[in-house]
């Protein structure tokens, strides 16, 4: 799941895959702006078939945060 | 006209049974009274005199069995469900009625009871329900009530044929009351009723209403026989209705009516058990009156609970159109192979679909090898096979029904319009009928006038029915997937004979982009790479190739830079993409293979004019209004060809 | 050179119009015997071999992996080998033909005539798709150089038609600006007191006053109705409600997205509303209600590092607020208000801006 996330983030922010690490956050990636953030959110919703609440969207400000929210949502929706 | 009737056994009639019969009669009479007081919507077809036929079959079934009745269904309904209050409320038009007042007297639905006022058409639907029971392996019985009048409808015989051949566990209860509306049966009914069923190899039984105990036992035995042996039974019951067909329309000989009134089992019981009967009668009438008083005060259904206008889908984003290196027929075939494997509710029905033939256009190739219990190759009976599919759909299956040629859909129009399209709404949304009918339309094969038509006009604009058309630019699997995932109501899919062999989006014009929307039923758009279009060409299905052949000559000769829009969902139509284009181009040409009047182009022209504030030049180009010839040179001129399209467009410049 | 046998594509499957050639087992000119399998074809139902009815020299009129129409000649067998000149050329079905002008423009007949008349060269239109008389004329109407000059400099200029989006964008901005009566006032806003808090709360809009501006504007606009209005034909139309629009550019052109009510909301709430709007836009869930009816637009170029700009007023509005980048050292940034002088004036605009500045600074 984390691999998929890294790919999605790399595509959304138009950076190479190895620039996405566990320490990645909004401040460290210049192209992680509001618009590309939404690109990532939409791609995640499509990929994992989930929907993010608005509060979740603004809270996902780092790689770790996103992983955390994803884990939670995938558990409850029972998708592999 | 007066049949032999030996009346006996009535005094020993079970009191409970009599009470039930009295209740039915009391409700019917009350309804007649309410009608004359102007408190009912529509007319009533009372079954007074035939109560025991209702109780014999409907009254001796299990809850999980099914009853399908006709216009004269009140007795059947009360006997099966006991819900006299719901019936009264229904006819009085109240929200608490069986179907919220929507169905009225002839269209009831509750807890496995169904009725429809269309003669004949109910039989294949009931047969489909029996097939559903059989496929699920339950030992449930379906009872369908027909009358002597209904024996005039052809679809009854189509259904009997299939019922017998497929061993469907259905009991056909035929109530012969000697009159079909105002016409005595001997005028319109040739031959013998029982011999009809026997001719199809169906077991028959014969009783009458006046030997009531015998009738009750015989009916019970028939029900048990169907249940145990899982084979059909045709049970004829002689009876007589004491009231007019509906209200006030009785030209029968009054002496005859009185003779039967005298023999009527309830009246006989009344005479021979006077004080007891008086008590039963009074109590029953009281019960009914109390119910009516209560119901009179109740509200009617609000229109917002019945009808909500459809929301149109906004124009989705445009994405590039991909090519698929596989033929349409293969893609559709694979769709069925995969989905029938994973979903046991899918049933494939059509003529000649069994392996190795696999259907006239081979869509069903190999399916019966993989799924022999869910592929049905039917006799040539379009009405019946759609009816059976309707029954299956109501009972939870997903039938995909193939009508071999689009021209033959006319044979099934009743089942589409008066059954499939109606069930959900007229039963106040209690059932869904997710049937999918697939049929190829279109000419250019030299098959001649009755095998080449494009009859979209007859299957579009039917409320609650979606009409989809495949084309060679869109993956048919995407379409069928959308239908399978989303559609809970009838869908008609218009395929195209010529397109079956084509691969998807293979040939491209160099100066145009090919895009599609990403929604369930993609809209395809082909527009010049850079230039702003100055005309919109709209079509669906098989016209795509011809239309694309027009693009270059249109520009070279007339400077028309056309944008082509191809719809897949052609009823109801989502106009967003069309309007977006036409607002820019201000010219709309609709090219269709059907004939012009009242067709696809008419609908688009009217809708676009209504919605656009801007002035738009609209023209329809269609087949000439004459039968499609078999000889190719003439056919080519009757159907829209490149030359005629160019000229028609040039005329508007 | 006697032709012994000619094989046409059989019409076996009633509903097939084309078959696909899978493989030619020989080369043209090879010697074959009677009964040899010559070519494998595929119909909609199955694959099938076609066999030589006699011995001789086979010449194919098809290609592997190509489609060939039913009824067409697929190969011939000759008594003697044939020199290449006398073998009819291979027939490739028309429908599969690669476009003959492979990438060059298509010209209408009238356009061709006009080009000849004007002594122009078709090369001028290299890279275009469809060239009609209008296209030729509008090419000619470029101001300045004569036709002959154009011919000379043609190699150095490439014309690209503007996209429909750009066309609409121009229309949208031309409306107010064409009056030449708009002006811009700007003011420095001290951000020291609020910046730290802003950046703590919002990671995506850090170092920008956007969110706080959005929360302060609605109530302020109520006090300045002339900035929530538009000019039309001698009258001023005052909007009854305020609907803020945020200008965004996703790469496919300028768009103004309408925001729901942001007045007096917290930074976080405003951020949620903005994201929701962007998400619905990018998820293609917008309806026309979501873009129509904007009464006042905000445009934020702080991310681009712009420290001053004079935004253009959109059609149907009388003002627009531009947010520039924060000067980190001096802890301040410029807010610019462009306004339509036919509706309001510099004094009102300045007052508005001053009040906005105060509210942002928390005074």
Q: What does the pLDDT read at residue B9?
A: 42
- Locate C6 and state its tokens: 């000619």
The pTM score is: 0.67
As a whole-number percent, the residues of chain A with pLDDT over 90 amount to 0
Residues C268 and C336 both lie in one domain? yes
Residues B476 and B545 both lie in one domain: no
Chains in contact with C via at least 3 Cβ–Cβ pairs below 8 Å: A, B
Whether residue B305 is contained in a domain is answered as no
Average pLDDT, chain B: 93
In a domain, B307, yes or no: no
Contact at CB, C135 and B531, closer than 8 angstroms:
yes
- Residue C279 contacts A where some CB pair is shorter than 8 Å: yes
Q: The domain spanning residue C318 has which CATH number?
A: 3.30.559.10
Interface contact C284, partner A, CB < 8 A: no
CATH number for position C82: 2.40.50.100
User: Looking at B501, B527, B556, which one is the last position of a domain?
Assistant: B501
Clarify whether residues B443 and B564 are in a common domain.
Answer: no
Residues in chain C: 363
Q: Given an 8 Å threshold on Cβ–Cβ distance, is C303 in contact with A33?
A: yes
Same domain, C234 and C89: no
Residue B19 confidence (pLDDT): 94
Which pLDDT score, from 0 to 100, does residue B513 have?
A: 92
Q: What is the pLDDT of residue B244?
A: 83
User: B543 near B472, Cβ under 8 Å?
Assistant: no
> Chain A: residue nearest C205 by CA?
A34
Distance CA B433, CA B298 (A): 30
Q: Is the minimum CB–CB distance between A50 and chain C shorter than 8 Å?
A: no
Asked if the structure places residue B364 within a domain, the reply is: yes
Give per-residue pLDDT as tens, B286-331. Answer: 999 999 999 999 999 999 999 998 888 888 789 999 999 999 999 9
Residues 9-28 of A with CB under 8 A from C: 25-27
Using the Cβ of A53 and the Cβ atoms of chain C, whether some distance falls under 8 Å is answered with no
Question: Of the given ranges (B87-101, B376-390, B593-607, C182-196), which has the lowest mean pLDDT?
Answer: C182-196
CB–CB contact C101 B558 (8 Å): no
Cross-chain Cβ contact A61/C203 below 8 Å:
yes
**Are C135 and B561 contacting, i.e. CB atoms less than 8 angstroms apart?**
no
C17/B531 CB distance under 8 A: no
Q: Angle at Cα B154 formed by Cα B149 and Cα B159, nearest 5°?
A: 100
Query: Do B329 and B276 sit in the same domain of this protein?
Result: no
Mean pLDDT of B516-537: 93
- Interface probe for C, chosen from B556, B563, B581 (most Cβ of C below 10 Å), is B556
Neighbours of B304 (CB within 10 A): 7
Is there a domain that residue B302 lies in?
no
Does the structure show a pLDDT above 60 at C93? Answer: no
pLDDT averaged over every residue in chain C = 80
Do C209 and C347 fall within a single domain? yes
Q: Which residues of C touch A56 (CB under 8 A)?
A: none
Task: Tell me whether chains B and C touch (3+ CB pairs under 8 A).
Answer: yes
Residue ending a domain, among B452, B473, B501, is B501
How far is it, in rounded angstroms, from Cα C96 to Cα C68? 9
- Tell me, what's the pLDDT at C232? 84
C-alpha B505/C-alpha A8 separation (Å) is 29
Domain boundaries, position A61: 2-77
In the predicted structure, residue B359 carries a pLDDT above the cut 80: yes
- Count Cβ atoms below 10 Å from residue B186 Cβ, excluding itself: 11
Q: Which domain holds residue C130?
A: 106-156
Question: Please, are residues B355 and B328 in contact by the beta-carbon 8 Å criterion?
Answer: no
Q: Which of B315, B531, B579 to mutate to test the interface with C (most CBs of C within 10 A)?
A: B531
Give the C-alpha separation, C244 to C142, whole Å.
40
Q: How confident is residue C16, by pLDDT bands cut at 50, 70 and 90?
A: low
**Do B240 and B177 have their domain in common?**
yes
Distance CA B361, CA B381 (A): 18
The ipTM, to two decimals, is 0.81
Average pLDDT over residues B218-225: 96
Q: C70: Cβ–Cβ under 8 A, 6 or more apart, which residues?
A: C9, C10, C11, C16, C17, C18, C19
**How many other C-beta atoms are found inside a 10 Å radius of the C-beta of residue C142?**
12
Number of domains in chain A: 1
How does pLDDT run across B42-86, given as a tens digit for each residue? 888 999 999 999 999 999 999 999 999 999 999 999 999 999 999
Same domain (yes/no): B167, B244: yes
For residues A4-18, give the mean pLDDT. Answer: 87
Q: Is residue B311 part of a domain?
A: no
Say yes or no: C138 and C214 in one domain. Answer: no
The range of the structural domain enclosing residue B44 comes to: 10-297
Report pLDDT for C44. Answer: 59
Nearest-neighbour CA in chain B from C52: distance (Å):
27
Per-residue pLDDT at C96 exceeds 70? no
Cβ contacts below 8 Å, chain B against chain C, sum to 74
- Sign of the CA dihedral with B158 first, then B164, B166, and B169 last: positive
Secondary structure (3-state) at B606: helix
| Residue C289 CB coordination number (10 Å) | 8
Query: Where residue C86 falls among pLDDT bands split at 50, 70, 90?
Result: very low
Residues in chain A within 8 Å Cβ distance of C206: 26-27
pLDDT top residue among B499 and B317: B499
Regarding whether B138 and B44 lie in a shared domain, the answer is yes
* Segment B324-356, tens digit of pLDDT: 999 999 999 999 999 999 999 999 999 999 999
Which of B107, B80, B79 lies closest to B91 in space, CA to CA? B107
Do B209 and B96 lie in one domain? The reply is yes
C305 and C208 fall within a common domain: yes
Specify the DSSP class assigned to residue B502: P
Rounded Cα–Cα distance for residues B70 and B106 (Å): 7
CB contact under 8 A, A34 and C278: yes
* The total number of structural domains that make up chain C: 3
Q: What is the DSSP letter of C41?
A: E
Check residue C14 and give its pLDDT: 56
Other beta carbons within 10 angstroms of residue B425's beta carbon come to 17
Query: What is the number of structural domains in chain B?
Result: 3
The listed range with the strongest mean pLDDT (B42-46, B357-361, B407-411) is: B407-411
Chain C nearest-CA distance from A78, in A, is 24
Q: Which residues of C touch A44 (CB under 8 A)?
A: none
DSSP string for residues in B13-27: --HHHHHHHHHHHHH
Residues C198 and C341 in one domain: yes
Residues B165 and B238 in one domain: yes
List all chains that touch chain A, counting a touch as 3 or more CB pairs closer than 8 Å: C
Tell me how far CA of residue B59 lies from CA of B55, B81, B288, in angstroms. Answer: 4, 9, 20
pLDDT of the residue at B128 = 98
Which chains does chain B touch, 3 or more C-beta pairs < 8 A? C
Judge whether B471 and B568 are in contact, CB under 8 Å.
yes
pLDDT interval class at C92 (50, 70, 90)? very low
- C272 with A55: Cβ contact below 8 A: yes
| C134, HSE (Cβ side, Cα atoms, 13 Å) | 11
Residue C141: which pLDDT band, with cuts at 50, 70 and 90? low
- Predicted confidence at residue C262, as pLDDT, reads 87
Torsion of CA B468, B469, B472, B476, to 10 degrees: 40
User: Quick one: pLDDT band at residue C1, thresholds 50, 70, 90?
Assistant: low
- What are the C-alpha distances in Å from B194 to residues B10, B537, C212? 26, 59, 86
Is the domain of B496 the same as that of B528?
Answer: no
Residue B636 resides in a domain:
yes
Please give the structure tokens belonging to residue B77.
């309904």
pLDDT band at B202 (very low <50, low <70, confident <90, very high): very high
Residue C189 shares a structural domain with residue C269: yes
- Nearest CB among A26, A35, A55 relative to C203 is that of A26
With respect to residue B483, please indicate whether it lies within any of the assigned structural domains. yes
Contact between B64 and B112 under an 8 Å Cβ cutoff? The reply is yes
Q: Residue C84's pLDDT is what?
A: 47
Give the separation between CA B203 and CA B196, rounded to whole angstroms: 11
What CATH number is associated with residue A7?
1.10.1200.10
**Higher per-residue confidence, C157 vs B3:** C157
Choosing among A38, A51, A55, which should be mutated to test the C contact, i.e. which has the most C CBs within 10 A? A38
Q: Helix (H) and strand (E) counts for chain C?
A: 9, 18
Q: Please report the pLDDT score of residue C290 as a whole number.
A: 67
Q: Is the pLDDT confidence value at C90 over 60? A: no
Chains C and A are in contact, defined as 3 or more C-beta pairs closer than 8 angstroms: yes
Question: What does residue B273 show for φ and ψ, rounded to 5 degrees?
Answer: -140, 55
Residue pair C146/C154 in contact (Cβ under 8 Å)? The answer is no
**Angle of helix A34-48 relative to helix C267-282, nearest 10 degrees?**
60
- The reported pLDDT for the residue numbered B641 is 95
Token digits of residue B17: 């049974």
Q: What is the pLDDT of residues B456-490, one digit of tens each?
A: 999 999 999 999 999 999 999 999 999 999 999 99
Which domain CATH number covers B328?
A: 3.40.50.970
Q: Which of B570-579, C87-96, C119-128 has the lowest mean pLDDT?
A: C87-96
Distance from CA of A28 to the nearest CA of C (A): 11
Domain endpoint, select from B484, B501, B518: B501
Q: What CATH code is carried by the domain that includes residue B606? A: 3.40.50.920
> Could you identify the residue written with the tokens 């006819």?
B91
How are strands ordered across the β-sheet holding C56-60?
C3-8, C73-78, C56-60, C30-32
pLDDT in tens, C315-340: 889 999 999 999 988 889 999 999 99
Signed CA dihedral, B192, B198, B202, B204: sign only: positive
Q: Do C106 and B556 touch (CB under 8 A)?
A: yes
Nearest beta carbon to residue B362 from set C45, C96, C108: C45
């Amino acid at each position: 799941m984390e691999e998929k996330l890294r790919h999605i983030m790399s595509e959304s922010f138009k950076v190479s895959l190895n620039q996405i690490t566990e320490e990645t956050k909004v401040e460290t990636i210049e192209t992680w702006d509001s618009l590309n953030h939404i690109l990532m959110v939409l791609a995640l919703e499509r990929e994992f078939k989930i929907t993010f609440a608005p509060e979740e969207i603004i809270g996902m400000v780092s790689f770790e945060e996103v992983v955390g929210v994803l884990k939670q949502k995938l558990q409850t929706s029972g998708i592999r | 006209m007066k049949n032999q009737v030996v009346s006996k056994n009535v005094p020993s009639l079970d009191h409970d049974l009599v009470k039930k019969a009295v209740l039915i009669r009391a409700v019917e009479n009350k309804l007649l009274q309410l009608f004359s007081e102007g408190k009912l919507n529509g007319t009533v077809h009372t079954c007074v005199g035939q109560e025991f036929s209702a109780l014999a079959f409907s009254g001796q079934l299990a809850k999980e069995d099914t009853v399908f009745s006709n216009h004269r269904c009140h007795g059947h309904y009360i006997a099966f469900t006991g819900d006299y209050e719901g019936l009264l409320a229904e006819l009085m038009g109240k929200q608490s009625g069986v179907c919220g007042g929507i169905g009225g007297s002839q269209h009831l639905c509750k807890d496995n009871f169904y009725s429809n006022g269309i003669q004949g058409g109910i039989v294949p639907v009931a047969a489909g329900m029996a097939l559903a029971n059989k496929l699920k392996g339950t030992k449930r019985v379906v009872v369908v009530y027909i009358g002597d009048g209904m024996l005039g409808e052809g679809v009854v015989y189509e259904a009997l044929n299939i019922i017998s051949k497929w061993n469907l566990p259905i009991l056909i209860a035929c109530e012969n009351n000697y009159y079909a509306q105002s016409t005595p049966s001997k005028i319109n009914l040739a031959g013998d009723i029982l011999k009809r069923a026997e001719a199809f190899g169906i077991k028959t039984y014969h009783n009458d209403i006046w030997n009531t105990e015998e009738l009750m036992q015989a009916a019970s035995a028939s029900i048990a026989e169907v249940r145990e042996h899982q084979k059909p039974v045709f049970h004829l019951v002689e009876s007589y209705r004491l009231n007019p067909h509906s209200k006030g329309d009785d030209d029968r000989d009054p002496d005859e009516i009185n003779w039967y009134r005298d023999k009527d089992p309830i009246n006989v019981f009344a005479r021979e058990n006077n004080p007891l009967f008086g008590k039963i009668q009074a109590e029953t009438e009281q019960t009914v009156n109390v119910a009516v008083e209560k119901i009179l005060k109740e509200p009617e259904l609000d229109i917002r609970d019945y009808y909500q206008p459809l929301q149109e889908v906004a124009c989705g984003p445009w994405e590039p159109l991909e090519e698929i290196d596989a033929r349409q027929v293969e893609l559709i075939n694979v769709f069925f192979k995969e989905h029938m494997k994973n979903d046991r509710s899918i049933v494939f029905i059509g003529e000649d679909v069994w392996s190795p033939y696999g259907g006239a256009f081979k869509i069903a190739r190999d399916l019966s090898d993989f799924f022999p219990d869910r592929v049905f190759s039917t006799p040539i009976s379009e009405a019946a096979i759609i009816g059976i599919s309707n029954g299956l759909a109501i009972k939870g299956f997903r039938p995909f029904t193939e009508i071999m040629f689009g021209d033959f859909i006319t044979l099934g129009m009743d089942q589409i319009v008066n059954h499939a399209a109606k069930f959900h709404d007229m039963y106040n949304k209690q059932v869904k009928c997710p049937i999918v009918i697939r049929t190829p339309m279109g000419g250019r094969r030299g098959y001649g006038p009755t095998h080449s038509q494009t009859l979209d006009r007859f299957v579009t604009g039917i409320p609650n029915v979606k009409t989809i058309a495949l084309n060679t630019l869109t993956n048919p699997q995407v379409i069928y997937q959308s239908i399978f995932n989303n559609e809970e109501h009838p869908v008609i899919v218009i395929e195209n004979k010529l397109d079956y062999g084509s691969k998807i989006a293979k040939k491209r014009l160099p100066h145009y982009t090919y895009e599609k929307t990403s929604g369930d039923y993609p809209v395809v758009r082909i527009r010049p790479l850079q230039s702003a279009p100055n005309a919109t060409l709209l079509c669906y299905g098989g016209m795509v190739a011809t239309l694309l052949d027009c693009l270059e000559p249109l520009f070279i000769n007339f400077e028309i830079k056309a944008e082509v829009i191809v719809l897949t969902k052609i009823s109801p139509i989502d106009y967003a993409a069309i309007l977006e284009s036409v607002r820019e181009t201000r010219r709309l040409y609709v090219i269709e293979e059907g004939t012009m009047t009242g067709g696809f182009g008419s609908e688009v022209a009217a809708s676009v004019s209504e919605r656009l504030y801007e002035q738009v030049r609209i023209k329809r180009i269609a087949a000439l209004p004459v039968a499609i010839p078999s000889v190719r040179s003439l056919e080519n001129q009757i159907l829209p060809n490149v030359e005629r399209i160019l000229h028609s467009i040039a005329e508007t410049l | 050179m006697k032709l012994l046998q000619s094989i046409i594509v059989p019409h076996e499957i009633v509903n097939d119009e084309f078959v696909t050639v899978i493989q030619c087992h020989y080369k043209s000119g090879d010697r074959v015997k009677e009964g040899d399998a010559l070519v494998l074809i595929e119909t909609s139902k199955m694959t099938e071999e076609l066999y030589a009815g006699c011995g001789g020299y086979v010449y194919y009129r098809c290609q592997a992996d190509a489609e060939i129409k039913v009824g067409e000649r697929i190969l011939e067998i000759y008594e003697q080998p044939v020199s290449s000149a006398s073998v009819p050329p291979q027939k490739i079905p028309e429908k599969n033909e690669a476009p003959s002008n492979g990438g060059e423009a298509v010209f209408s007949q009238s356009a061709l005539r006009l080009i000849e008349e004007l002594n122009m060269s078709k090369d001028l239109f290299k890279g275009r798709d469809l060239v009609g008389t209008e296209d030729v004329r509008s090419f000619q109407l470029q101001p300045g150089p004569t036709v002959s000059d154009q011919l000379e400099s043609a190699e150095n200029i490439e014309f690209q038609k503007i996209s429909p989006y750009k066309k609409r964008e121009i229309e949208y901005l031309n409306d107010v600006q064409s009056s030449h009566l708009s002006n811009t006032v700007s003011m420095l806003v001290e951000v020291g007191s609020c910046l730290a808090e802003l950046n703590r709360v919002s990671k995506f809009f850090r170092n920008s006053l956007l969110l706080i501006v959005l929360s302060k504007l609605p109530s302020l606009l109520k006090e300045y109705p002339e900035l929530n209005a538009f000019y039309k034909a001698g009258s001023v139309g005052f909007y009854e409600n305020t609907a803020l629009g945020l200008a965004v550019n996703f790469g496919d052109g300028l768009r103004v997205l309408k925001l729901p009510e942001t007045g007096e909301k917290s930074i976080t709430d405003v951020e949620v509303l903005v994201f929701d709007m962007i998400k619905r836009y990018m998820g293609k869930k917008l309806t026309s209600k979501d873009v129509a009816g904007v009464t006042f637009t905000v445009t934020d170029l702080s991310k681009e590092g712009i420290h001053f700009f004079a935004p253009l007023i959109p059609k149907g509005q009388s003002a627009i607020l531009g947010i520039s980048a924060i000067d980190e050292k001096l802890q301040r940034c410029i807010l610019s208000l462009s306004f339509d002088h036919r509706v309001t004036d510099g004094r009102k605009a300045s007052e508005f801006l001053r009040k906005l500045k105060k509210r942002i600074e928390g005074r």
